[in-house]
Structure 1
Amino acid sequence: MSAPRWSVEGRDWPNRAASRFVAAGGLRWHVQTFAPEARDAPATILLLHGTGAATHSWRTLAPLLGQHYHVVAVDLPGHGFTTGRPVGGLSIAGMAGAVATLLGTLKVTPQVIIGHSAGAAIAARLAIDGTATPAAIIGLSAALLPFPGLAATLFPTMARALFVNPIAPHLFARIARTPGETGRFLYRSTGSRIDDAGVACYAALLGTSAQCAGAIGMMAAWDLVGLRRDLARLKTPVLLVHGDADRAIPLSNAREAAAAVGDGRLETLHGLGHLAHEERPEEVAAIVRQYMEARI
């Protein structure tokens, strides 16, 4: 199975100078770090991307936040340039446990965790389980609840069927290598139109069968029903930032999720899709700063 190579797919990787590789919990993690020139940043932010993505998802937002905060972004297991498989697999709990081990190795204690889509579910799991103690969680297009209606049953079932089919990742990778197909897929599935640099990164990753297998495996192991049940135990303040043109997760889902936690708030971005933080990173950075200045 082909995997993204740092010397090939990563040759022109966004913010490559901020990258390093760290061994933790049996994995070799790709980590990017950003910080202001001043020695002491006011807070540390951990960035967790969504399914099928990697650190390129933060290519503009991370440096913007890094002007004011200490920012750590990682490629999650099965994604990007991180290699190895966590002890608990690609489930929410398994991913959260792996991230907690990495934070221990890095000696990083994030005051805020920002998660996009499935990354927000991992952030919630970390806080619920007490393996991280952030002062706040910010979910961008957060996937915290089961998909509405029939999709709640069909989507996980289809993902598991694809996961056990060894040919599926290779077929998806071949499609992603078709010129123009990744951009069309991103718009159809997310409602977002992102820049050419972002599309190129997604195409480079999804053109490898290992990235496709990681995304499928993550979706197949995802237990959002269990997370929904545990959200009542989440005491960490949560800000959800959600585009009203999101085709992946409806705005109604975000409203319900904000109401399900003890201290939840929703901020709506008009005209933006599931990749809103890639469409208008300056706007999202301003929302994050305003929230953190009030909370941290």
Structure 2
Amino acid sequence: MTSFNGVVHIDTDCGVDDALALAVLGQVAKVASVSTTWGNCSALQAAANARYILQRTKAAQIEVTPAYDDPPTSWAPSHVHGPDGMGGVFHLSPAERSRNGDTAVSAIVRFAERAGKGGRLLAIAPLTNVAAAYRAAPEALHSLDRIVVMASQGLTPRSAWLDETGDTNTRHNPSATAEIAASPLPVTWVGIDVTRHVLLSADAFGESEFGKTLRVLSKRYGASRAPSYGYAADGPGWRVPAHDTVAVTVLLGEGDATTAEALAVVDRSSGTPVLR
């Protein structure tokens, strides 16, 4: 599936579409490490979710390091991902805080310093951790071969759909997104204007026990998005958007998306921040 033979670090707020991306990437690439932040759920909940997915894909040895900074008081877990980011399917308790003092930011910096041009970073979460890592060690992050970010709306005109569903990762932390967009880092942006058109159906998940579990999880998420995306919520025609899995294909060199040169402004004109 991939022409990339290096190592990967994933920064995630492990919700439903993140889980599918982790499951795919954990089986087809050399994932060195994972960090988590708040977004779809809390950073500690995201860490528990990511560890569970990696265990189910026989990649339990991969280290998962959560962020410990608190989200703003205005933040709340996304209703489309449920209170635990996984739609309540797995009933996982949040991870415990690390006792060794390691943080998500230090995990990203350590990965970049070790991997250099042999490493790629996949950011499928608000860019809180990535921006902090860039401030801490800009040269290390710049040395990476590629950074793929699931965020932005390209140059597509604003619409009722965009204002409702929007550029979620930018909306959670627009200043972090703007910081990375203005940086010289080797970033490829995978916009929601691209990923919204990639819809998975029931047969995309296979017939393994874990595939069936992911199908149930994804169907619930897809049903919650159906009214705004315009596809069937149930029955044989149900679909689910493959946002973060599209970013995985770009990371592995199997596709492309808008590059950083075309994106520089966080548009707040409707009150819903979107990177363009």
Same fold, TM-score > 0.5, yes or no: no
TM-score when normalising by structure 2: 0.38
